[in-house]
Structures are given as structure tokens and as C-alpha cells.
Amino acid sequence: MHVTGARPNFPKAAPVIAALERHPLRQLLVHTGQHYGDRMSEVFFRELGLPAPDVNLGVGSGTHATQTAAIMVGLEELFVAERPDLVMVYGDVNSTAAAALVAAKMGVALAHVEAGLRSFDWTMPEEINRVVTDRLADLLLVTSADAVAHLGNEGVHPDRIHLVGNPMIDTLMRHLGALDATAAAAQVGVDPSEPYLVATLHRPGNVDDPADVAELVQAVHATADQVRVVVPLHPRGRERLARAGFMDHDRVLVVPPLGYVEFLGLVTGSAAVVTDSGGVQEETTVLGVPCLTLRPNTERPVTITHGTNQLVTRPDLPAAVARVLAEGRRADPDRVPPLWDGHAGPRIAAVVARHLGL
């Protein structure tokens, strides 16, 4: 049983589900409903070749406790009814940690895809979700060597840790041929012959507190004085950013969240990306697009050591963008971390099949 629920879960689960189809087992796909609607959920099911969810718990938005509790109650009933042999969870969202707690307390085996990442920043809800999920998981499926080391330091037995690579990159590689920068730019109303940045912003650390929002608006406006900035805006910060005048700059183009192919098409044609997303740091690393991450830390340091990522503060953003625009893209074939090769799904499926004795 795969438990998904939020946007970043979908490109991680798709290649695992596809690879497991080649094994003799029954798969159930659960959508918790943490994210919902066409732009945050349904478009990914259409584009990524995911089967329709067998169950949608429809929990929707809420405080952490409300949302996590609703997911737990729904999953407990479902686990009792379906008695899964293994529950698979993805990433670090509330749906992930909620499923892990229910599985562990019911004695159901748990596999965590993208285990072991650590920002060591306990103000992030994701860090809490990661640590809780990893502590409870039987199979820890890991994207990078640093994550193996973190789990070892936390006392996880090496037999449980499997370095399998990055399934999100499987999805990216599968769709590379469909990414069309010109079409994506036209679709959002950008002239593709002029340089543009793509920005995604949704972390509480950037969009929740009015003082942070004010600083963010100033940073992005000073950036937009240099170059057009296209922002497919996550619903989380929309109202606060609008109230703070984020949209009041003629080179800041705010559009609704985009589908996967359209979003990554736009990214491939961009001069650089500004983001606080986890997944986007990884995708830009593989695509070779410079990435400026507006965060004080990252749980994905390989995107800095191998890839195109750098951490920047909000006040430093305009100068960092100026530098990146002057440098252009680096042609560096070594930038892709080991095992980010498009074959993580089959490796995960092999570990799961072995675990289930298939």
C-alpha cells in the first residue's frame, strides 16, 4: 500500500509503482487528500502515468494536528480493512509521518522512500516528519550517501538501509523528451527569447510571517529590476504575498501552480531558478539549471556539492542573481549525484520484493 497525499509525493511514487508492477503483488494507492484540486493533485495523476488512487481520504487542509490526526484515523480504518503486508511512504510531508505512526503501531512493515535526509533544522515540520518516519521504518530507501551516514549516526542497523538513488529523477528522465521550454513559456505568457527566472516559494520560513514576507517581496522586486521572474505560486503564501504587494511589479509574473511537464519545461528554458522547494533543488541539479535556494540550510547537500545549487539569504538574492546571470550555465558532466540515473524505481522494487519474499 502506497500512501501519498502532497504534490512532491507523486513524482516519487510513480516510478516505484511502475517498477513494482513487474512483481507478483497487489498494489493499492492511497491519496490522503492533503493536497487537492487539479493544480496541486489531479494534473500529476494525468501526466505521470499514476493509476487513479484506490482510496482518497479527502482530509484537506488544516493545522498540523488536525491534518495529521485525520490522516491517521482514515489510515487506521483502511489498514484494518486491507491488512497491507507493507506500507510505502514518500518524502517528508504530514501524510508520510501520519502513515508511519499508524503502520508502526499496527505492526505493519513500513518502507520509507527518501530516508535519511537531514536539515538539522527543527523549526521545519519536514525535519520532524523525516526523523519520526525513519525511526519507525523497517526499510530505509536512500537517495544519497550523506543520508546513509545520518542514519548510521542515529543507530539504524545497516541491514535496513538501502542506497537506491532518486526516484524523482526517474520521473524527470522519463519526461525529458516532453519538456518544451518554448511551449511552456508561451503558455504562461513569457517571451522565451528574453531571459527569465522561475521562482517557487512555499516554505513557512519564507511565506508565513509578515516580516519575512516583506523581506521576500523586496528581494524579488529588486531581482525583477534585473530580469523577469515567473512565479508558479503555491496556494500557501498567495494571500499574504498579494497583501504585501508581491504582484505589484511589472516583471513579476505570478501564475497558478503548473503541471509537471509545463513546470519543468519552463525551468529548462530559464536562466536560473529561485526556490525553497526540496524537489526543485534536485531537478535543477540534473537539468544543469543554476538554482538559488532561499533557505538557511538544505537537507539535500549533494545538490550543492555535485549540482547547481547554492543557498542564499533574501537580502543577498539580487546580487546572487546578478552573479548567476553573468556566469551563465556551467557545463559539468559530474554534477549528477551517483545513482540519480533514472533507475531508482526498479532498485526500490527489488528491495521491496526481497523483503516480501517474492
Residue ranges binding ligand UDP (CB under 6 A) = 7-8, 11, 200, 232, 257-258, 260, 263-264, 277-280, 283
CB of 8 to ligand UDP, least distance (A): 4
DSSP state letters, 274-309? EE--HHHHHHHHHHT--EEE-SS--S-THHHHTSSE
> What's the rounded Cα separation, in Å, for the pair 160 and 168?
21
CA distance 108 to 255: 42
Q: Which does 257 bind (CB under 5 to 8 A by kind): ligand UDP, ligand UD1, none?
A: ligand UDP
Nine-digit cell string for 227: 530580469
Tell which positions 64-83 bind ligand UD1, by CB under 6 A: 67
258 binds, among ligand UD1, ligand UDP, none (CB under 5 to 8 A by kind): ligand UDP
Q: Least CB distance from residue 259 to ligand UD1, whole Å?
A: 14
Residue type, 51: P
- How many angstroms separate the CA atoms of 118 and 41, rounded? 26
Is the Cβ–Cβ distance between 180 and 265 less than 8 Å? yes
Distance between CA atoms of 136 and 213, rounded to whole angstroms? 36
> Residue 11 or residue 165: which is nearer to ligand UDP going by CB?
11
Question: Which is it for strands 2-4 and 29-31: parallel, antiparallel or unpaired?
Answer: parallel
Nearer to ligand UDP, 79 or 196 (CB): 196
Rounded distance between C-alpha atoms, residue 253 and residue 238, angstroms = 13
- Alpha-carbon gap, residue 142 to 139, rounded angstroms: 9
Q: Which stretch binds ligand UD1 (CB under 6 A): 36-44, 77-85, 260-268, 314-322?
A: 36-44
Q: What are phi and psi of 234, to 5 degrees?
A: -60, 140
Q: How far is the CB of 123 from ligand UD1 (least distance, A)?
A: 12
Closest CB to ligand UDP among residues 232, 290: 232
- Over the range 219-234, which residues count as b (16 or more CB within 10 Å of their CB) and which as e? bbbbbbeebbbbbbbb
For ligand UD1, the closer of residues 130 and 249 by Cβ is 130
Half-sphere exposure of 330 (CA within 13 A, CB side): 16
Catalytic residue selected from 31, 150, 202, 306: 202
CA distance 253 to 232: 8
User: Which of 22, 37, 178, 186 is in the footprint of ligand UD1 by CB under 6 A?
Assistant: 37
Query: Binder to ligand UD1 among 4, 32, 94, 270 (CB under 6 A)?
Result: 94
Q: How far is the CB of 279 from ligand UD1 (least distance, A)?
A: 8
Place of cell 488512487: 53
d(CA 351, CA 56): 27
Closest approach, Cβ 250 to ligand UD1, in A, equals 27
Compare residues 55 and 280 and give the one whose CB is closer to ligand UDP. Answer: 280
Work out whether 8 is an interface residue with ligand UD1 (CB under 6 A): yes
Size of the site for ligand UD1 (CB under 6 A): 19
Q: Among 11, 101, 113, 126, which residue sits at the site for ligand UD1 (rule: CB under 6 A)? A: 126
Active site residue 221: no
DSSP state of 335: G
Per DSSP, the residues of 61-99 read S--HHHHHHHHHHHHHHHHHHH--SEEEEETTSHHHHHH
The one segment of 3-11, 21-29, 98-106, 173-181 that binds ligand UD1 by CB under 6 A: 3-11
User: Please, what is the minimum distance in Å from the beta carbon of residue 73 to ligand UD1?
Assistant: 17
Do residues 126 and 203 lie in contact, with contact meaning Cβ atoms separated by under 8 Å?
no
Q: Does 61 bind ligand UD1 (CB under 6 A)?
A: yes
Minimal distance in Å, beta carbon 204 to ligand UD1?
Answer: 7
Which residues contact ligand UD1 (rule: CB under 6 A)? Answer: 6-8, 34-37, 40, 61, 67, 92-94, 125-126, 202, 234-236
Please list the active-site residues: 202
